[in-house]
């Protein structure tokens, strides 16, 4: 079980400003090699591993206005939860951004981090997995799954699920040691969805598979497409998946039965769905072809298309963050949008300083996004007014917003925790 939440919460809320520094990841190790976070630490009984103490890490934290934290500040999976709604526990900074700490991974970062009990779990594309302290960025442990990993990790109970080109690896949160590995799933390039003791994954060979979270054993596996490279979204026992050839497919979590299959009409890659209020929202993405990029609302029960709107500039628009009766959409046309979920009509449109390939996150009425090689940006959810921006290096792929920080990684291998002034209690 995870422990120490109260102590960690008090530590975050009582932080004073320290000197800025960075935390540098160590060099590659053999599969399942684990680095303990403190000198002299030893691994509990389990698979063989080498254990050493990492070099000391230093980091800076920002002064913040104290604000009540949510009852559950964890970010357990890509886009916040299995429905992929983009809602984060927050709170996030609303003004005066300050970089709390920076960590340099041993390879590019192509996914969103997961956060539990004030520990950040990061997966680099080279298969290196690092657990970091959310407060200061110091390293808890490091392990290597031995194969490339492009999907975002998911936390299920006391396990960290790491999707890889070889399947799914389950690591123990406490120390990074392996619990089980499922190779029969095929290569997984999206994030697993965990619901109770069940895990659902979509693989690049077009299969959707349900596994037992405790053992990794397969309950069912269904071939639904030629290829899938995004994450399944789950709500009310229904899993929705976007395929690489323009379809959205819904399966029953219970037995894998196909509930519906909808042609988006674009014959291009369908992004990770976002589900809210009995509606699944999907964006149609690459490859680029004139008139082939839309945001589409589907009835979760039937798959019927409720509305379909063209992406601004006819470029990819990503599935929305959904909160406060609005859909918040990022697109590669250098704009952020708020849409009416009932009709798809635009409520506001805000220009961005660069191409935006990240999916939006929302916490406490603030929309967080980021541009390629540019900035993390906070927007007021009601008006689209820019609240602040903070520079980053590289292309970002996902962000977590919790405990007063925005945690975002890029393809340069840089992970940043950005704090600032928090909303009033």
Average pLDDT, integer, range 374-401: 96
**pLDDT of res. 69:** 54
Q: What is the pLDDT of residues 26-35, one digit of tens each?
A: 333 333 344 4
Least confident of 7-11, 203-207, 322-326: 7-11
Domain boundaries, the chain: 5-421
Burial class (CB in 10 A: 0-12, 13-18, 19+), 96: middle
Dump the DSSP string for 143-198.
EE-SS---SPPEEETTEEEEEETTEEEEEETTT--EEEEE-TT----S--EEETTE
Mean pLDDT of 304-312: 93
DSSP 359-374: PPEEETTEEEEE-TTS
Residue 331 banded pLDDT, cuts 50, 70, 90: confident
pLDDT of residue 55: 35
- pLDDT band for position 268 (cuts 50, 70, 90): confident
Mean pLDDT, all residues of the chain: 86
For 165-179, how does the pLDDT look when each residue is reduced to its tens digit (9 = 90+)?
999 999 999 999 999
Give pTM, 2 decimals.
Answer: 0.85
CB-CB contact of 320 with 289 (8 Å): no
Contacts of range 158-162, beta carbons closer than 8 Å, 24 or more positions apart = 158/1, 158/2, 159/213, 160/114, 160/121, 160/129, 161/192, 161/194, 161/199, 162/123, 162/129
Q: Which residue has the tokens 């072809």?
A: 289
Q: How far apart are CA 72 and CA 193, in angstroms?
A: 18
Q: In the prediction, which pLDDT does 291 show?
A: 76
How far is residue 411's CA from residue 392's CA, in Å, rounded to a whole number?
11
**Helix/strand/coil (H, E, C) string of 298-327?**
EECCCCCEEEEEECHHHCCECCCEEECCEE
Supply the pLDDT for residue 218.
Answer: 97
Question: Which class in CATH covers the domain with range 5-421?
Answer: mainly beta
User: pLDDT over 70 for what percent of the chain?
Assistant: 82
Indicate whether 104 pLDDT > 60. Answer: yes
User: Confidence band (pLDDT; 50, 70, 90) for 71?
Assistant: low
Query: Which tens digit of pLDDT belongs to each residue from 55-70?
Result: 333 333 444 333 445 6
Q: How far is CA 418 from CA 147, 239, 265, 385, in A?
A: 30, 33, 40, 19
pLDDT at res. 88: 98
* pLDDT (tens digit per residue) in 202-245: 999 999 999 999 999 999 999 999 999 999 999 999 999 999 99
Which region among 248-257, 311-320, 332-341 has the lowest average model confidence (pLDDT)? 311-320
Mean local confidence (pLDDT), 254-262: 98
* Residue 419 predicted with pLDDT over 70: yes
**pLDDT for 411 beyond 90:** yes
Q: Is 108 left (phi over 0), alpha (psi -120 to 50) or beta?
A: beta
Nearest CA to 237 out of 198, 185, 264, 209 is that of 198
Alpha helix (H) residue ranges in 36-173: none
Q: What is the pLDDT of residues 135-147, one digit of tens each?
A: 999 999 999 999 9
Does pLDDT of 196 surpass 80?
A: yes
Mean pLDDT computed over 330-356: 93
Q: Taking CA 282 as the corner, what is the angle to CA 280 and CA 285, rounded to the nearest 5 degrees?
A: 170
Going by pLDDT thresholds of 50, 70 and 90, the confidence category of residue 257 is very high
Give pLDDT, residue 265.
87
């Amino acid at each position: 079980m995870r422990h120490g939440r109260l102590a960690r919460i008090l530590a975050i809320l009582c932080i004073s400003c320290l000197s800025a520094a960075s935390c540098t990841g160590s060099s590659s190790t053999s599969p399942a090699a684990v680095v303990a976070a403190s000198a002299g630490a030893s691994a509990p009984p389990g698979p063989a591993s080498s254990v050493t103490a990492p070099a000391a890490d230093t980091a800076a934290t920002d002064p913040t206005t104290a604000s009540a934290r949510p009852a559950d500040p964890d970010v357990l999976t890509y886009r916040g939860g299995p429905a992929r709604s983009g809602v984060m526990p927050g709170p996030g900074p609303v003004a005066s951004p300050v970089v709390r700490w920076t960590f340099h991974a041993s390879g590019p970062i192509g996914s969103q981090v997961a956060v539990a009990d004030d520990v950040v779990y990061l997966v680099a594309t080279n298969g290196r997995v690092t657990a970091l302290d959310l407060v200061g960025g110091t390293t808890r442990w490091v392990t290597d799954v031995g194969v490339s990993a492009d999907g975002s990790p998911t936390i299920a109970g006391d396990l960290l699920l790491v999707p890889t080109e070889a399947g799914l690896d389950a690591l123990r949160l406490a120390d990074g040691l392996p619990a089980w590995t499922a190779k029969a799933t095929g290569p997984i390039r999206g994030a697993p969805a965990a619901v109770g003791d069940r895990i659902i994954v979509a693989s690049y060979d077009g299969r959707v598979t349900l596994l037992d979270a405790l053992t990794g054993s397969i309950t069912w596996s269904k071939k639904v497409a030629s290829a899938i490279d995004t994450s399944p979204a789950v709500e009310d026992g229904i899993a929705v998946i976007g395929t690489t050839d323009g379809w959205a497919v819904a399966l029953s979590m219970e037995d894998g039965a196909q509930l519906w299959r909808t042609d988006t009409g674009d014959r291009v890659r369908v992004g990770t769905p976002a589900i809210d209020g009995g509606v699944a929202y999907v964006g149609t993405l690459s490859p680029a072809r004139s008139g082939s990029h839309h945001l589409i609302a589907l009835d979760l029960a039937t798959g019927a298309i409720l509305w379909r709107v063209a992406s601004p500039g006819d470029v990819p628009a990503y599935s929305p963050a959904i909160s406060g009766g609005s859909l918040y959409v990022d697109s590669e046309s250098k704009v952020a949008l708020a849409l009416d979920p009932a009709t798809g009509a635009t409520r506001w449109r805000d220009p961005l300083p660069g191409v935006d390939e990240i999916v939006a996150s929302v916490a406490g009425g603030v929309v967080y996004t980021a541009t390629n090689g540019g900035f993390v940006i906070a927007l007021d959810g009601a008006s689209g007014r820019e609240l602040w921006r903070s520079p980053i290096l590289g292309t970002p792929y996902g962000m977590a917003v919790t405990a007063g920080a925005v945690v975002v990684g890029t393809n340069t291998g840089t992970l940043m925790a950005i704090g600032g002034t928090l909303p009033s209690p």
